[in-house]
Amino acid sequence: MSAGAVTTGLAGDRAAGDPAAPPLASRQRRAARRARSAVTLLAQGEPMLWLTGGGLVVAGAMIVGLVALIVWQGALTFWPAPVVSITTADGRTVWGEITRRDVFKPDPSLMGSLAPQARAAAGRELSASGGRLARRLVRSGNFELSGEHFTWVSDYEIAPDGEARPRWALVVERRSWGRFYGEPVAYLEDGKVVATDAAAVWRAVRSAQPAVLARVARQRDLERREMDRLNTRVEKARLAVRQAELDHGRDSAAWRQAVAAASRIETAMGQAFADLTDRIDALKRENERSVVRLRTGDGREADLALGDIVRAYPANQLDGAAKWGVYLSRWREFLADEPREANSEGGVFPAIFGTIVMTLVMSALVVPFGVLAALYLREYAKTGPLVAAVRISINNLAGVPSIVFGVVGLGFFCYLAGGAIDQAFFAARLPNPTYGTGGLLWASLTLALLTLPVVIVATEEALAAVPGSLREGSYACGASKWQTIQRIVLPRALPGIMTGAILAMARGAGEVAPLMLVGAVKLAPELPLDGVAPFLHPERSFMHLGFHIYDLGFQSQNSEAAKPMVFTTTLLLVAIITGLNLAAIWLRARLRRRFAAGHF
Amino acid sequence: MREKRDMETQSIVTRPSPPDAVDLRRRPGSGENRLAAIAAGAAVPADIHAGVFASPAVLDIENFNLWYGQKQALFDLTLPIPRGKVTALIGPSGCGKSTLLRSVNRLNDLIDSVRIEGDMRLNGDSIYGRSVDVIELRRRMGMVFQKSNPFPMSIFENVVYPLRIDGERNRNVLQEVCERSLRGAALWDEVRDRLGESALGLSGGQQQRLCIARAIAAEPEVLLMDEPCSALDPIATAKIEELIAALRGEYSILIVTHNMQQASRVSDDTAFMYLGRLIEYGPTVEIFTRPHLRETEDYITGRFG
Ligand SMILES: Nc1ncnc2c1ncn2[C@@H]1O[C@H](COP(=O)(O)OP(=O)(O)OP(=O)(O)O)[C@@H](O)[C@H]1O
Ligand SMILES: [Mg+2]
């Protein structure tokens, strides 16, 4: 009908004026447009496709590469490698696990210093590889004998047929001094040799180990918990004396009473201490009775008390299942135990625990404040320059370097607020600070400040996304503003708020720089949350995975041994943060489904 | 350009034009002049039929003016809404029907720029008086919006929402109200087995009836409906119209509609508004069969707007 009208109109038009001109002109115009689009590169779309796609590929490759590196290195750390015996041409023998291999350009003076045989081998290798030599880093352990944990072995040094895998080479992980590599030559009970055959010695070690490990655990428990309990009581009595002195003055009746009580407790505790020390010593003696004698690759012998051994295995005899056993037991130790050897061995449990407790406390602080602030900004505040300024400030806060928050936390929370708290409530302990130094509470508060913008922005967006029609519907039912917020707006905005909260958690869990100033430490004697009243100890310093990585990577004495732990710890931290993010995504999807708009 | 003008001419020609169109434009004091006068800002008195004063008013709108910032949206409205009847508000888009409806339960208070003059009375109680508790006031009314807005909660909770916010906890009372309201909204049989399910799983028409159930749950003195059927298909529309017919007498209903047939079918009285002013107001039969004013007739027969 209308198409007909158009045709009629056109026909009339053409009849009225110059018949062919308008269509021709428009056709020419169209042709001109097509021609132009052919020469303009950007109009074609293809270059933009390549540009954007390329950007995505580069970003993806970087992320995938990083994650792959962390996963690969982190997952391999605990896999038991075989023990290799390497004998050099000059008669040195090294036993150990190969850690890595690389090539180097030798110093010109090197060739002159070599023995003739080695020089010939090195010359051959140099000419074959274009001036480079290959070498391997062997984790050779036996620190008390050799003075080093790792040894470089160059390929040209190795004697012909100098490499072997000794069948009975044991890898021994010890509580101190790092690993030991050697083959068993004797098992001693109370100084008497019980077994000498390698297999028999190994059997004896295996059968004695569970009891020994149980005693070690018991001993650590006594040292930790019982000793702690006694110490706490003595400390409390001493604090009471000091408090009485502060409150009533020296030589007052109260002070004298406190002194008497303290000396009573100290005598009683002195007895208990002696008992406890006896029990601990008895356990130690019991564990020192069983000794395994090992011979190293270069023929020296060493006696290792079973109590010092964390884990031992004949690396070259392990079948698949046994390898997995070692691997998993190392992971278990890593996740559940405390660190040893300046953090380069053992587990990171205190760091995991510290990270999680700190993150939870931080969330408990930041989410309520952030949500309240966002509620005020979005629901109550009248839009105007003031609110706009506040919003801009919050967004700027998100861009402030995190170390600045650390400085603020240290200066304001630790020194100012903590100092005031100490003066007011913990005067008896001064000059030792209680709250006046870094600790869980201050670290959590600092990170709460740091992540506040994330929560506020996310919550504001979530609130803004709640349709006005729902609010109006609620008001029309006679609901008050708060009822509307509480019953309609907040539930509806919950997915967004949760997402913000969990992103803030992930951000806080991965933050290190400010923590170094406000409470994360290399080694915390106690957990921030334990069985001693009041259970949560907000003043205690704590260990943190992020800080642990920094410490392992840059502060470690035995940096080669610490390196794989860096990767493993990183893997763990990345896994925790990824877990939090996945939880956020899952939660959001779940809640979104609940609030999905109805269909018509 | 030339093509386009040509098409317009064509379409005007094809539309059936009233035989007296030319006359109307010339006659003094008739529709076009009155509407032009209103457009120019002149105050033109409304033509209110005597029929609307026959029954007592549930709602009295008295010299009501409303501004959005500098722009006036309602001009000196004075009209009674009879109790127990259905009153339809009609008029071209943007004439202030929604604004008037939202003024009745003071939803416009939520907009910062709104300023009002004049007053309304709900069963004699001032709505815009100084000491009026707005929350209390809104509880005496129910409102149904153009687009259904069920809350993201269960069907049951949706219906009893007005009671919940009153603090009603008694399960028996809530259940009773839920059933009565859902029956009232002709939805009970469809949802009786799924009261605990999310209201967002209902169809559009069911959602709108759910909103009606929610609006009548607290037994309001007036029920305000803003184009309740505009997003619904003919069957759902018919259901809601039946529902309005069933609610007539029990509730006083003020309904905005763009559908003339709907206005003539469901309402007892009809008010015609134009550019924020009341033009003519009277019993629906009179408005639709023998309106006093030409422009009312033009609007109803679709000759403008
Ligand atoms: N929040 C607002 N702020 C400013 N002006 C508004 C606002 N809401 C409505 N208006 C104006 O007030 C006038 C009346 O609007 P209203 O929504 O009441 O019209 P209506 O009769 O309901 O129209 P429709 O039939 O299209 O729904 C319109 O000119 C509109 O632009
Ligand atoms: Mg409207």
> A112 forms bridges with which residues in the sheet?
none
User: From the candidates A378, A477, A490, which should be mutated to test the interface with B, based on the most B CB atoms within 10 A?
Assistant: A477
- What is the spatial distance between Cα A247 and Cα A255, in angstroms, rounded to a whole number? 9
Q: Examine residue A217 and state whether it is found in any structural domain, yes or no.
A: yes
Q: Examine residue A171 and state whether it is found in any structural domain, yes or no.
A: no
**Ligand 1 near B98 CB (within 6 A):** yes
Structure-token match 């406000």, residue found: A518
- What is the spatial distance between Cα A326 and Cα A341, in angstroms, rounded to a whole number? 20
Q: Are residues A266 and A329 in the same domain?
A: no
Check pLDDT > 60 for residue B21. no
Return the pLDDT at B204. 85
Q: Examine residue A342 and state whether it is found in any structural domain, yes or no.
A: no
Q: Examine residue A505 and state whether it is found in any structural domain, yes or no.
A: yes
Q: Are residues A501 and A564 in the same domain?
A: yes
**Closest chain B residue by Cα to residue A379:** B110
ipTM above 0.90 for this complex? no
**Cβ count within 10 A of residue A345:** 22
**Tokens in use for B299?**
């609007």
CA angle A461, A465, A470 (to 5 degrees): 140
Q: Is A531 on the interface with B (CB under 8 A)?
A: no
Q: pLDDT tier at B19 (50, 70, 90 boundaries)? A: very low
Residue where a domain stops, chosen among A336, A370, A392 = A336
Structure-token match 């140099």, residue found: A126
Under an 8 A CB cutoff, do A598 and B199 touch?
Answer: yes
Q: Are residues A280 and A366 in the same domain?
A: no
**Residues B234-262: what's their mean pLDDT?**
87
Ligand 1 test: best mutation among B38, B64, B68, most atoms within 8 Å of CB? B68
**Ligand 1 near B73 CB (within 6 A):** yes
**Tokens in use for A570?**
């990183």
Q: Examine residue A203 and state whether it is found in any structural domain, yes or no.
A: yes
Return the pLDDT at A509. 83
Ligand 1 test: best mutation among B64, B77, B89, B98, most atoms within 8 Å of CB? B98
Under an 8 A CB cutoff, do B202 and A598 touch?
Answer: yes
Chain A contact set for B149 (CB, 8 A): 467, 469-470, 472-473
Helix B204-217 × helix B171-184 angle, to 10°: 130
- What is the spatial distance between Cα A257 and Cα A245, in angstroms, rounded to a whole number? 11
Domains of chain B by start residue, with CATH? 1-15+30-140+220-305 (3.40.50.300), 152-219 (no CATH)
Under an 8 A CB cutoff, do B200 and A596 touch?
Answer: yes
Q: Are residues A374 and A456 in the same domain?
A: yes
Q: Are residues A205 and A118 in the same domain?
A: no
> A313 forms bridges with which residues in the sheet?
A171
Check pLDDT > 90 for residue B152. no
Residue located nearest, by CA, to atom 14 of ligand 1: B96
Q: Are residues A473 and A369 in the same domain?
A: yes
Return the pLDDT at B273. 92
Q: Examine residue A219 and state whether it is found in any structural domain, yes or no.
A: yes
**Residues B239-246: what's their mean pLDDT?**
86
Q: Are residues A297 and A328 in the same domain?
A: no
**Ligand 1 near B277 CB (within 6 A):** no
Q: Examine residue A32 and state whether it is found in any structural domain, yes or no.
A: no
Under an 8 A CB cutoff, do A474 and B200 touch?
Answer: no
Q: What is the CATH number of the domain that holds A590?
A: 1.10.3720.10
- What is the spatial distance between Cα B267 and Cα B259, in angstroms, rounded to a whole number? 12
Q: pLDDT tier at B81 (50, 70, 90 boundaries)? A: very high
Structural domains counted in chain A:
4
Q: Are residues A75 and A96 in the same domain?
A: no
User: What's the predicted TM-score (pTM) here?
Assistant: 0.76
Q: pLDDT tier at B29 (50, 70, 90 boundaries)? A: very low
Q: Which amino acid is at B107?
A: L
Check pLDDT > 90 for residue B11. no
Return the pLDDT at A222. 84
Structural domain boundaries, residue A94: 86-165
Check pLDDT > 90 for residue B86. yes
Q: Are residues A124 and A76 in the same domain?
A: no
**Residues B185-194: what's their mean pLDDT?**
88
Tens-digit pLDDT profile for residues A559-588: 777 888 888 888 988 888 888 778 878 877
Q: What is the mean pLDDT of chain B?
A: 83
Distance of CA B208 to the CA centre of its chain: 15
Chain B contact set for A12 (CB, 8 A): 6
Q: Which atom of ligand 1 is nearest to the CA of B258?
A: 25
**Ligand 1 near B181 CB (within 6 A):** no
Q: Is A492 on the interface with B (CB under 8 A)?
A: yes
Under an 8 A CB cutoff, do B165 and A477 touch?
Answer: yes
Return the pLDDT at B270. 93
Q: Examine residue A385 and state whether it is found in any structural domain, yes or no.
A: yes
Q: Are residues A431 and A539 in the same domain?
A: yes
Q: Which atom of ligand 1 is nearest to the CA of B227?
A: 27
Q: Are residues A137 and A234 in the same domain?
A: no
Q: Are residues A244 and A363 in the same domain?
A: no
Return the pLDDT at B304. 67
pLDDT tens-place values along chain A, 600 residues long: 344 444 444 444 444 444 444 555 666 666 555 555 555 666 666 778 888 999 999 999 999 999 999 888 888 888 998 999 998 888 888 999 998 888 888 887 877 787 787 788 888 888 888 888 888 999 988 888 888 888 888 888 888 888 889 888 999 988 888 889 999 988 888 888 888 888 888 998 888 888 888 988 888 888 877 887 888 888 887 888 778 777 777 778 877 888 888 888 888 888 888 888 898 888 888 888 888 999 988 888 888 888 888 889 998 888 889 999 999 999 998 888 888 776 667 788 888 888 888 888 898 999 999 999 999 998 888 888 998 999 899 888 888 898 999 999 888 888 888 888 878 877 777 777 777 777 888 999 999 999 999 999 999 999 998 988 999 999 999 899 999 999 999 988 888 888 888 888 888 888 888 888 888 777 777 777 776 667 777 778 888 888 888 888 887 777 777 888 888 888 988 888 888 778 878 877 887 776 654 433
